Amino acid sequence: MNPPYGSNLFSSGSLVLLAKDAAERSRVKEPEAQVAVILACAATECAFNDLFTVVATWEEEPSAKVRMLLDVLSAVEDAKENLLSKLKLVHLVSTGRQLDIGRQPFQDFHELYKLRSALIHRRPDPLIPLTQEPDRNRYRRTVEFVLSRGLGTIYIGDPAHPQLSNVAQGYALAKWAVNTAITVAIEMADMFYPLTDLDTREFIHGFRPIE
């Protein structure tokens, strides 16, 4: 028998509040935006785990769809698939349809996750202009995305050699990161809803976008 969801301590709400705090600090200390990016992604991953735990443990005898989801998610966990891969499976089991990850907010979340990965798995930034030998600049596409969306500026350094850490700064980037993560978490809750009779949004009630 599974333990009831009430015996679990959920943490995604605390993480999203920390992400919002970091975003607010980035108004004054621009590099705090990088903290907001990392925490926003962590909050979304945690929200997925919270929602899945609720659905998986709500009933003593899970439905056929929930049992199927348990099986397929166990396989992707073993394969260390990313969150978007898991969401595609949840959506397919829940609705019988493929998830369009090319639409928003999933398109932005894909970019957010690449930025988060670049920040926490950093390697030395190559001193190569974006217009020269682009394939050797491993952060080129991420830097270009941030700049093209108006989410960051080159705070210091040579504009011809923008460094990831110098571009990924400021409140605009932090707010975008947090709101993208929150919007994805709300979509996740709606994906899980058909699998249970619970109001799944209640379990992520702290996920409210920054105005």
User: pLDDT tens-digit profile of 83-117?
Assistant: 998 999 899 989 989 999 999 999 999 999 999 99
Arithmetic mean of pLDDT, 40-68: 86
Q: Answer whether the bond into residue 105 is a cis peptide, omega within 30°.
A: yes
Residue 59 has pLDDT above 50, yes or no: yes
| Token reading at 99 | 């998830």
Half-sphere exposure (Cβ direction) of 2: Cα atoms closer than 13 Å: 18
Provide the CB-side half-sphere exposure for 55 (13 A, CA): 30
State the amino acid at position 135 in one-letter form.
Answer: D
pLDDT tens digits for 163-185? 788 889 999 999 999 999 999 99
In this structure, the number of other CB atoms found within 10 A of the CB of residue 8 comes to 13
The residue that leads in pLDDT, 198 or 175, is 175
- C-alpha to C-alpha distance for 8 and 53, rounded to whole angstroms: 9
Give the distance, in angstroms, between the CA of residue 176 and the centroid of all CA atoms in the same chain.
Answer: 11
* Spatial CA neighbour of 2 closest among 76, 36, 42, 53: 53
